[in-house]
């Protein structure tokens, strides 16, 4: 019997259907697997997005945390440093003098630690940027040397400054970074030098001049000391974080090993070179930088109104007059400190506890010459009070009054923010009588003098 033709076709169709079914099943399985993989990847992506958001939040919290800690530490430290300076200037026994100098030494170490921790935190979170400003370079160098001299004097180790220029050299680079480089190199030398001397040597050369008065300076900065030096074979480690020189039989000489690491990173940021040269007795650190600047003095300030200076005998010197100084400070100890410092200089302090009181006092009298303005105060902050004054809230005659930010906000970006907001001068805490006197002297020189 002959098999009908359609039977093979049916068999073929049945086989095709079976194969198609198997293929569809496999396709469905693969689609399910793909869907599961996509869902898993989407879930993982959401986890990563949440992780990124968490890390971003933690980073931002860290960015806020370190400046906040710095601000909170500098405020009480200001009273400790300031009152110890005042106490140092009074008659005391040798024992009392030793106690005072111990307080000053410990305060300097705490301040150095705060500055280095903040700088290192910025390095590790990639927050370091260059914020160029115009500044008088020799003046800044002398300020750094004077700051470091105080600690060096306690060890009877003089710091000698050798500059091949003494006239005004105006640079246009990051003042804070350059100051930190000098400060950390000198602090390092002071820490490891017990006898002899420390020399800060600075040479400059004008490299080029473009259109206008902008120039480029090649700076060679050297810090040479007669200290204990670096042990053989360890020179390549001194610029690494947390490295500390320890001589056999000695303990660690303070610090946490961040100073030179910060110098290395800042020099790199400024596209310079840093090297260490061992000496027969001591060490030499050399920094080479090329920085822009301008020839001559800083750009002239806008015309200033005369200060209302007391006629008659100056307070301390011919460059110093008796000023009526409005002190805005919510910390009772810091307000008292400024009151005592100003009174000893011959000035007349008036105290306000917040920005609201500042405006009220200015409205009630017309004889205030200068305002020392804390920034973080209750009710009305110092920066907001400054804005109000510049907008005429205290009267038109006070719109141009010189305002000094005496504040624990000490970072370069803080200074630039405050200056943009109407502050004229920035005096970071902790302060001492010399720094306050220098700032007030500068104000008298910047503003035309005129008696009443």
Instruction: Summarize pLDDT for 6-35 with one digit per residue, the tens.
Output: 556 666 666 666 666 666 777 777 777 777
Lateral strand order in the sheet of 370-373? 348-352, 324-328, 370-373, 403-407, 425-428
User: For 73-107, how does the pLDDT look when each residue is reduced to its tens digit (9 = 90+)?
Assistant: 787 888 888 888 888 888 888 888 888 888 877 88
pLDDT at residue number 232: 74
What integer pLDDT is reported at residue 307 of this predicted model? 55
Mean pLDDT rounded to a whole number for the chain: 80
Q: pLDDT by residue (tens digit) across 371-414?
A: 999 998 888 999 999 999 999 999 988 999 999 999 888 777 78
* Cα angle: 281, vertex 152, 158; to 5 degrees: 60
Fold designation for 307-451? Rossmann fold (3.40.50)
CATH number of 128-294: 3.30.565.10
- Mean pLDDT of the region 444-450: 68
**CA separation for the pair 410, 115 (Å, rounded):** 9
Give residue 246's pLDDT.
63
Q: Helices 259-269 & 94-124, crossing angle to 10 degrees?
A: 50
Q: Where are the domains of the chain?
A: 128-294, 307-451
Encode pLDDT of 320-329 as tens digits.
568 999 999 9
The model's pLDDT over 285-337, given as tens digits with 9 standing for 90+, comes to: 999 998 888 765 555 444 455 555 444 434 444 345 689 999 999 989 999 99
Share of the chain above pLDDT 70, in %: 79
pLDDT at residue 448 greater than cutoff 70: no
The predicted structure's pLDDT at residue 56: 66
Please say if the pLDDT value at position 211 is more than 70.
no
pLDDT of residue 318: 38
> What's the number of CA atoms in the CB half-sphere (13 Å) around residue 75?
16
- Residue 27 vs residue 42, higher pLDDT: 42
Asked if residues 428 and 410 have their Cβ atoms less than 8 Å apart, the reply is yes
Q: In this predicted model, what pLDDT tens digit does every residue of 345-354 receive, in sequence order?
A: 999 999 999 9
What is the value of pTM for the model shown? Answer: 0.67
**Largest alpha-carbon pair distance within the chain?**
143
**Would the pLDDT of 37 be above 60?**
yes
Average pLDDT over residues 252-267: 80
The pLDDT tens digits of the residues spanning 240-253 come to 877 776 665 555 55
Average pLDDT of span 32-45: 79
């Amino acid at each position: 019997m002959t098999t009908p033709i359609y039977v093979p076709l049916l068999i073929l169709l049945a086989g095709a259907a079976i194969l198609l079914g198997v293929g569809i099943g496999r396709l469905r399985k693969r689609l399910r697997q793909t869907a599961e993989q996509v869902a898993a990847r989407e879930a993982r992506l959401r986890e990563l997005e949440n992780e990124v958001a968490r890390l971003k939040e933690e980073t931002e919290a860290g960015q806020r945390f370190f400046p906040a800690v710095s601000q909170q530490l500098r405020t009480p430290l200001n009273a400790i440093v300031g009152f110890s300076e005042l106490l140092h200037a009074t008659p005391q026994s040798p024992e009392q003098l030793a106690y005072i100098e111990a307080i000053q030494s410990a305060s300097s170490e705490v301040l150095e630690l705060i500055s280095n921790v903040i700088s290192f935190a910025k390095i590790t979170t990639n927050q370091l940027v260059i914020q160029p400003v115009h500044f008088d370079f020799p003046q800044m160098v002398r300020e750094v040397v004077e700051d470091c001299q105080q600690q060096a004097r306690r060890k009877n180790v003089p710091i000698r400054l050798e500059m091949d220029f003494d006239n005004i050299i105006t640079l246009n680079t990051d003042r804070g970074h350059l100051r930190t480089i000098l400060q950390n190199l000198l602090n390092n030398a002071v820490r490891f030098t017990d006898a002899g001397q420390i020399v800060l040597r600075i040479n400059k050369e004008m490299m080029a001049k473009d259109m206008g008065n902008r120039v480029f300076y090649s700076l060679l900065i050297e810090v040479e000391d007669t200290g204990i030096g670096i042990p053989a074979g360890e020179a390549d480690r001194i610029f690494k974080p947390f490295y500390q020189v320890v001589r056999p039989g000695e303990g660690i000489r303070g610090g946490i090993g961040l100073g030179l690491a910060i110098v290395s990173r800042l020099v790199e940021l400024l596209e310079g070179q840093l090297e260490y040269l061992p000496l027969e007795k001591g060490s030499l650190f050399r920094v080479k930088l090329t920085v822009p600047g301008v020839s001559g003095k800083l750009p002239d300030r806008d015309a200033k109104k005369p200060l209302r200076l007391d006629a008659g005998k100056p307070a301390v010197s011919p460059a110093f007059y008796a000023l009526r100084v409005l002190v805005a400070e919510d910390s009772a100890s810091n307000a008292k400190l400024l009151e005592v410092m100003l009174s000893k200089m011959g000035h007349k302090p008036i105290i306000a506890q917040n920005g609201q009181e500042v405006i009220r006092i200015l409205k009630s009298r017309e004889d205030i010459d200068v305002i020392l303005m804390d920034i973080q105060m209750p009710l009305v902050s110092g920066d907001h009070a400054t804005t109000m004054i510049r907008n005429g809230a205290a009267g038109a005659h006070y719109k141009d009054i010189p305002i000094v930010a005496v504040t624990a906000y000490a970072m370069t970006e803080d200074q630039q923010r405050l200056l943009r907001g109407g502050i004229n001068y920035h005096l970071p805490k902790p302060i001492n009588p010399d720094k306050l006197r220098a700032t007030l002297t500068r104000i008298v020189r910047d503003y035309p003098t005129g008696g009443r």
